[in-house]
Structure 1
């Protein structure tokens, strides 16, 4: 459905009908109800199911072992805007605030079920909240997730009126041409357990959350203006919660979106916090590749960090117009951008920042997984039994496995 505005007659968006309807049977929502349910819910359920499958964990056994919490970052409720009926004529269900509850219902998870709205920091705030819940014993395992789909023109119109969207397709974090962010869409989920239990259960451990902090800028000159002192406090609080010094951090996955003022502020804060290091601190941002996924952006950042752990090297941030050795103007010369793959000093501990224009700040310290001993690979062919609910899904599953191998 192309949508046009009167701003010079330029097309500002093309929106798909029936988003999330191409995976029948995978959402767990009855067929007669699904068309009226927020597509974010339907795709989130499929994503959580894929997350559990990736971890080789059965939902019923996970639920039977103790309360499982669900913490979902979300900030937009586009499905409820301007849509009195679903495509088939049934009443639309404005359930943008119920994302976590649908997951808890479908998978029979009885722990805390919370939708976390901290603006663009919502995804990482959901992870931080899940970690706190695990630490206090409120749940024995937790699913942290984030969802961000652009389903209605009002979504982008609001961001455009606020002056947040990039005017140029060349706008990238740390670029001389940065003038705002390029929106992205995505849904992500991770399964969290206490480390000792995950190791005892034989789970594949991709990373360990050592600590984190969730704060707000408080009162600044204008609503939405960043607060550098509170931002610095958040970073230092995350390091303290992890019990680590600044020298222990080998890389920072920044919150940088392409909004020049906020990006520069983050660099200045990192320069103050890490200024005594013998070498400049490596930093980067995945948002120059994925766009800024707002409430789900933290999961794009985490995916990049996990990829770096798996590969044992730092991945580049594409910024074609940055010259010299990559040292950035902000940060007092103590911060450098990773512009090419580096494997000389693969980081074991990483700081991940996620900051919202409404003042929410989240920092997490993520550590590479502990070394694991694995059995030697057997000689000759290996039989892998596959199962699925329908022949069609079985074929899809087999093709995905073949592509992965």
Structure 2
């Protein structure tokens, strides 16, 4: 193919300049191509997958690591038990009038303050939730093989889900001091870890009620994708240290009288409170692979929304839940068929469970066949960890993905008659179930926290 030289090209040849001429139009096209490339690169960074490179946890039943967690889940253990006598503190008489079963940690007051450079006087005023966060965050960084000096050269962000302030009831009125102020405010739960470990990225405490810790994971992921930090730590914590909060929750009629969380069951009559702490360390997947990090699991997308105006303050909005699941799928670049397992919010309430399953059926149901969708909820094993419930579900999902199996739903005997899963491909495992995805169908897991 031949073309005639343009006027500009001819003129250039006559001058013997020996270079290719550029018209204003071609320069504009080059600029557009360059900008498009930069835009695509930016979009790729903001929507790229994230790697879970470290995990730390303390959960009921003496669970302190991922293997122990999986063993308890796969065996279908119920880790809810009466509150240990030594945990009642100065409130024994009040506790005896309240539901006593819960997902309790064995010990929450012991703390090696000297290890973290904290004086004994300050440690006494420090909310045990803050102490637990320090310990478990350190363990998560150890699991990631990140030494403190490694993080000092990086922008490390910290996002902590925390709501309760039971420890305030331990301090007699009029005897507070400055340590009490910095030891019990939510903002200091994040700030203290950042200070102790020399973290230089964002340090944020998140309180969105029971979704706090999963919202913290979402914000941590957004910060990584926006290049606001190089490493992000997301955490959640909940301790039951005073009978006051249990008494107030009981007045909402949302606690199970028998202390059993019977999610999706016809006998569902409320949730059981639980304690625990979970921490995950996140990096951009591309950088984790580049650096040779061990990758526990990959987070491909997330989304956050609010119920808006619903039929009541405690009544879930099914349309909002449907929209949220679809938004998370869009962010991950996945279709409903890619989701083979779902860690549901699943509180075990007669109203909430059917609404949640209705939203799942609409957003993820297999009306046209395909790989099954297996649904569970860790609350049936350890209780509702409130601010830490989302991170407990996420870590359960990490364990499930690593083992390629789905653990059973504890206490599920007869499906709630208001839950209709006919011809949807949805299953509720009654025992440990092998999980195999074929050609990308059903090989991803979703996690909800409302």
TM-score normalised by the chain length of structure 1: 0.80
- Alignment check: 8 A CA contact 2:129 2:237 kept: yes
Offset at 1:177? 1.5
- Count of matched residue positions in the alignment of Structure 1 and Structure 2: 350
When residues 183 and 124 of structure 1 are mapped into structure 2, their CA distance, relative to the original with a 3 A threshold, is same
Correspondence for 1:376: none
Q: Which of 328, 333, 355 lines up with 1:243 in the alignment?
A: 333
- Alignment check: 8 A CA contact 1:85 1:92 kept: no
Q: Which of 323, 339, 363 lines up with 2:430 in the alignment?
A: 339
Offset at 1:329? 2.9
When residues 86 and 43 of structure 1 are mapped into structure 2, their CA distance, relative to the original with a 3 A threshold, is farther
Matched, 1:159 2:159: no
When residues 12 and 309 of structure 1 are mapped into structure 2, their CA distance, relative to the original with a 3 A threshold, is closer
Correspondence for 1:48: 137
Range with greater deviation from structure 2 (295-304 or 90-99): 90-99
Offset at 1:328? 8.7
- Alignment check: 8 A CA contact 1:4 1:11 kept: no
When residues 18 and 204 of structure 1 are mapped into structure 2, their CA distance, relative to the original with a 3 A threshold, is closer
Correspondence for 1:299: 391
When residues 91 and 106 of structure 1 are mapped into structure 2, their CA distance, relative to the original with a 3 A threshold, is closer
Matched, 1:3 2:92: yes
Correspondence for 2:344: 254
Provide the secondary structure at the position in 2 that maps to 1:21. Answer: coil
Q: Which of 149, 158, 163 lines up with 1:75 in the alignment?
A: 163
Range with greater deviation from structure 2 (238-247 or 301-310): 301-310
Provide the secondary structure at the position in 1 that maps to 2:172. Answer: coil
Taking the TM superposition and a 5 Å limit, the aligned residue runs for 1:101-120 are: 101-120=191-210
Offset at 1:317? 1.3
Q: Which has the higher helix share?
A: 2
Offset at 1:131? 0.1
- Alignment check: 8 A CA contact 1:29 1:42 kept: no
Provide the secondary structure at the position in 2 that maps to 1:119. Answer: coil
When residues 221 and 88 of structure 1 are mapped into structure 2, their CA distance, relative to the original with a 3 A threshold, is closer
Taking the TM superposition and a 5 Å limit, the aligned residue runs for 1:116-155 are: 116-155=206-245
When residues 116 and 272 of structure 1 are mapped into structure 2, their CA distance, relative to the original with a 3 A threshold, is same
Correspondence for 2:446: 351
- Alignment check: 8 A CA contact 2:340 2:444 kept: yes
**Partner Cα distance (1:49, 1:36) in 2:** 21
When residues 122 and 343 of structure 1 are mapped into structure 2, their CA distance, relative to the original with a 3 A threshold, is same
Q: State the Cα deviation string for residues 106-137 of structure 1 (Å, max 9, x = none).
A: 11111111111111000100000000011001
Query: Any stretches of 5+ residues in structure 1 without a counterpart?
Result: 356-405
**Partner Cα distance (1:85, 1:27) in 2:** 28
Matched, 1:20 2:112: no
Give the number of the structure with larger relative contact order, counting CA–CA contacts within 8 Å between residues 6 or more apart: 2
Offset at 1:319? 2.8
- Alignment check: 8 A CA contact 1:121 1:354 kept: yes
Provide the secondary structure at the position in 2 that maps to 1:282. Answer: strand
Correspondence for 1:39: 128
Q: State the Cα deviation string for residues 316-341 of structure 1 (Å, max 9, x = none).
A: 11234137xx9993345522201112
Query: Any stretches of 5+ residues in structure 2 without a counterpart?
Result: 1-88
Taking the TM superposition and a 5 Å limit, the aligned residue runs for 1:214-293 are: 214-275=304-365, 276-279=367-370, 280-293=372-385
